[in-house]
């Protein structure tokens, strides 16, 4: 008889990656409504966008009765945004998930370069998700400059220590799995050595993006190391997912079978049309008009940040279609509903969401320069002693000054990197796959 293949035990509240086609972790394109739509169209698992550990530490967990979501929020420490001075200040949502619709199929991807802070952040999110994944593949300077993302591939010892800490201090107590997402290295020998060391840390899953760190999405994925990676993972009993140039569910399963992987992720194709997760036997990819309407409705149901919704609509609506131009001029859900012709079905909901988010006709007047200056002065006077006692504050002749590390705590989930199509006048970010 042939012995059954080795398999790392899947924790009671965790999930087995084997046989799964998942939504890849993408900054901006992996927020709550995008994940819910991917699941609606057949995704087995969804990865949230990389969220930095220091941004999560210090957040407060709220159950949002209106949206049914769990929101991890914090107040910004920028300027006059001191809640004791500005009682009307809104908290920023750092991470949002829908426990009923995605909780048991959601993997939280963490950006980190430190075992201690990784554990602190992961402990906060772990009870609400099916697994924690460490980003060791993002090539963007935002991650690599802080020693995170693909920079961890150059410090495998540190990466392994992060994974071991998460396994013992977060995964085991919460009964969920810990996994990692990497890129291939320059040689198969280097990649093999890395994968073997990672599989020895106690992880349950590993995803390999078939590109090297310098490569960009427009460059074709390199799959000549994939069978080797899958074999090493199988020998260790660790599930292996592949990522890179996968465009549909049927193709994902075919490629996984061809290269001996346990499953696959879809990234850019799902950003344009999340219905790529639907198999051909069930109708395959849906028309973009259907998907856009479903996305707008889902985004409003969870009160998604308007800038993020507009960015995704810019990916889903073909640039040459008249609806694209009409969408780009909108500044609220009410406006986009009218531009896209959804008034009958969604206008009332759009107005309620605009009011809740304080956008469109409900946007509050902005402070004048003198008002901001006065508020800043008041916040500084009130919080001077408290801020001086905080870690990381340096005293200068100009007063208290935040360090770059402290500023990192205030970054929103869609960390600014580059302008995206049809985005509002805000700093946007690119894919982190």
Task: Assign 3-class secondary structure to 311-341.
Answer: HHHHHHCCCCCHHHHHHHCCCCHHHHHHHHC
Mean of the pLDDT values across residues 49-74? 97
Cα–Cα distances in Å, from 278 out to 19, 39, 42, 268?
Answer: 15, 10, 5, 15
Spell out the alpha helix ranges (H) of 260-399.
Answer: 268-272, 288-301, 306-316, 322-328, 333-340, 343-357, 369-389
Q: What is the mean pLDDT of the chain?
A: 87
Spatial CB neighbours of 60, under 8 Å, sequence gap ≥ 6 = 72, 73, 74, 91
Higher-pLDDT residue of 337 and 394 is 337
Alpha-carbon distance of 350 to 333, in angstroms, equals 5
Among 128, 189, 144, 157, smallest CA distance to 50 is for 144
pLDDT band for 306, please (50, 70, 90 cuts).
very high
Is 138 one of the catalytic residues? yes
pLDDT surpasses 90 at 11: yes
Alpha-carbon distance of 48 to 15, in angstroms, equals 15
Give me the residue label for tokens 């009011």: 355
pLDDT surpasses 80 at 19: yes
Alpha-carbon distance of 35 to 273, in angstroms, equals 12
pLDDT surpasses 50 at 44: yes
3-state secondary structure at position 294: helix
Give me the residue label for tokens 């099916």: 130
pLDDT surpasses 90 at 244: yes
Q: What pTM was computed for the model?
A: 0.85
Alpha-carbon distance of 432 to 427, in angstroms, equals 16
pLDDT surpasses 80 at 383: no
pLDDT band for 397, please (50, 70, 90 cuts).
very low
Q: What is the pLDDT of residues 253-272, one digit of tens each?
A: 999 999 999 999 999 999 99
Among 140, 229, 219, smallest CA distance to 185 is for 229
Residue 269 CB neighbours (<10 A) = 18
Q: How far is CA 79 from the centre of its chain?
A: 27
Tokens standing for 174? 């919460």
Among 327, 267, 266, smallest CA distance to 299 is for 327
Among 17, 94, 102, smallest CA distance to 50 is for 94
Spatial CB neighbours of 2, under 8 Å, sequence gap ≥ 6 = none
Mean of the pLDDT values across residues 38-58? 97
Q: Which of 138, 210, 233, 261 is the catalytic position?
A: 138
pLDDT band for 2, please (50, 70, 90 cuts).
low
pLDDT band for 281, please (50, 70, 90 cuts).
very high
Q: Which pLDDT belongs to residue 382?
A: 62
Contact yes or no for 208/226 (Cβ under 8 A): yes
pLDDT surpasses 50 at 425: no
pLDDT surpasses 60 at 321: yes
pLDDT surpasses 70 at 403: no
Beta bridge partners of 265: 22
Directed axis angle between helix 333-340 and helix 343-357, to 10°? Answer: 160
């Amino acid at each position: 008889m042939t012995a059954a293949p080795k398999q790392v035990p899947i924790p009671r509240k965790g999930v087995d990656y084997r046989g799964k086609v998942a939504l890849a972790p993408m900054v901006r394109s992996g927020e709550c409504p995008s994940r819910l739509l991917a699941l609606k169209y057949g995704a087995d698992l969804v990865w949230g966008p990389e969220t930095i550990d220091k941004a999560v530490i210090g957040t407060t967990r709220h159950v949002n009765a209106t949206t049914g979501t769990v929101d991890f929020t914090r107040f910004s420490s920028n300027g006059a945004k001191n809640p004791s001075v500005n009682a009307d200040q809104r908290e920023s949502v750092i991470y949002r998930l829908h426990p009923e619709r995605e909780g048991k199929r959601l993997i939280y991807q963490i950006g980190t370069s430190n075992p201690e802070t990784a554990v602190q952040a992961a402990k906060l999110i772990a009870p609400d998700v099916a697994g924690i994944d460490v980003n060791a593949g993002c090539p963007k300077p935002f991650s690599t400059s802080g020693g995170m993302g693909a920079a961890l591939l150059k410090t495998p010892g540190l990466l392994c220590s992060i994974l071991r800490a998460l396994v013992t201090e977060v995964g085991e107590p919460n009964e969920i799995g810990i996994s990692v997402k990497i890129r291939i290295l320059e040689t198969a020998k280097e990649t093999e050595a890395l994968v073997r060391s990672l599989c020895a840390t106690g992880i349950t899953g590993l995803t390999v993006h078939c590109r090297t760190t310098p490569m960009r999405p427009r460059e074709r994925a390199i799959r000549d190391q994939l069978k080797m990676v899958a074999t090493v993972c199988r020998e260790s009993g660790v599930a292996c997912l592949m990522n890179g140039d996968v465009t549909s569910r049927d193709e994902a399963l075919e490629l996984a079978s061809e290269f001996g992987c346990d499953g696959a992720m879809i990234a850019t194709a799902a950003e344009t049309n999340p219905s790529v997760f639907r198999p051909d036997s069930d109708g395959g990819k849906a028309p973009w008009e259907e998907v856009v309407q479903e996305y707008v409705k889902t985004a409003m149901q969870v009160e998604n940040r308007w800038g993020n919704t507009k960015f995704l609509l810019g990916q889903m609506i073909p640039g040459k279609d008249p609806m694209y131009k009409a969408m780009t001029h909108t500044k609220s859900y009410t406006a986009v509903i009218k531009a896209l012709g959804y008034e009958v079905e969604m206008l009332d909901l759009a107005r309620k969401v605009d009011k809740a988010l304080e956008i469109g006709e409900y946007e509050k007047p902005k402070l004048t320069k003198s008002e901001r200056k006065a508020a800043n002065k008041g916040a500084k006077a009130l919080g001077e002693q408290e801020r001086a006692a905080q870690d990381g504050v340096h005293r200068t002749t100009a007063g208290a000054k935040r360090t770059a590390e402290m500023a990192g705590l205030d970054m929103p989930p869609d960390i600014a990197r580059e302008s995206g199509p049809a985005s509002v006048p805000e700093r946007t970010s690119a894919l982190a796959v």
